[in-house]
Amino acid sequence: MSPRPNKILQQYQKLAKLPGGKRLFSAVVCRKAPYFSTASPQLLELRANYCQAKLKKRRAVENHIGTVHVIAVCNVLEFAMGVLAEASIPSHLRWIPKGMDVRYTAKADSDLVIEAVVDDGAWDNGPELQVKVNAKRADGTVVVEGVIHLWVTEKPAKHTA
């Protein structure tokens, strides 16, 4: 049984039906966390515990050998993880990134598709959550793979005066 969509996921689902809605949603995320806009990620798909985004290969994200710089890739890995987390986390929990472990496995010489995935039920397994991430070039070859570690805790009780 899939969990009931939270507000973020509901907003995405509403916008995704509109022309340019996914691009608009991506822009809103980049407005909230401005550093993401340096890579200009575009959300492709979002559902509970899964996010897919695109990173276009263009001069602004290339390194000295003409491939996509791994820091730009990591930026969009974190973008996808953050959108996934906001769209998936149960309402009584909060999250913060704790670290990222990545391996560079091939040259990123094309546009990239970025994925972030959390196992079903993982949000209930304790204070640390591992989000699996990868980036694939146009031919399907994985160019970066890894895990982003999140610290997940209960939201503090709200005090009323």
| Residue 119 forms part of a structural domain | yes
Alpha carbon of 24 to those of 7, 34, 35, 40: distances in Å? Answer: 16, 14, 17, 12
| Residue 2 forms part of a structural domain | no
The number of distinct structural domains making up the chain is: 1
- Tens-binned pLDDT, residue by residue, of the chain (161 aa): 445 668 999 999 999 999 999 999 999 999 999 999 999 999 999 999 999 999 999 999 999 999 999 999 999 999 999 999 999 999 899 999 999 999 999 999 999 999 999 998 899 888 999 999 999 999 999 999 999 999 999 998 887 76
What is the span of the domain harbouring residue 126?
7-154
| Residue 19 forms part of a structural domain | yes
Distance separating the N- and C-terminal Cα atoms of the chain: 39
| Residue 111 forms part of a structural domain | yes
| Residue 160 forms part of a structural domain | no
pLDDT (tens digit, 9 = 90+) per residue, 42-79? 999 999 999 999 999 999 999 999 999 999 999 999 99
Dist. CA 44–CA 134, nearest whole Å: 15
| Residue 159 forms part of a structural domain | no
Alpha carbon of 62 to those of 27, 42, 54, 55: distances in Å? Answer: 21, 17, 15, 11
Give the pLDDT score at 1. Answer: 42
Give the pLDDT score at 161. Answer: 65
| Residue 105 forms part of a structural domain | yes
| Residue 49 forms part of a structural domain | yes
CATH assignment at residue 42: 3.10.129.10
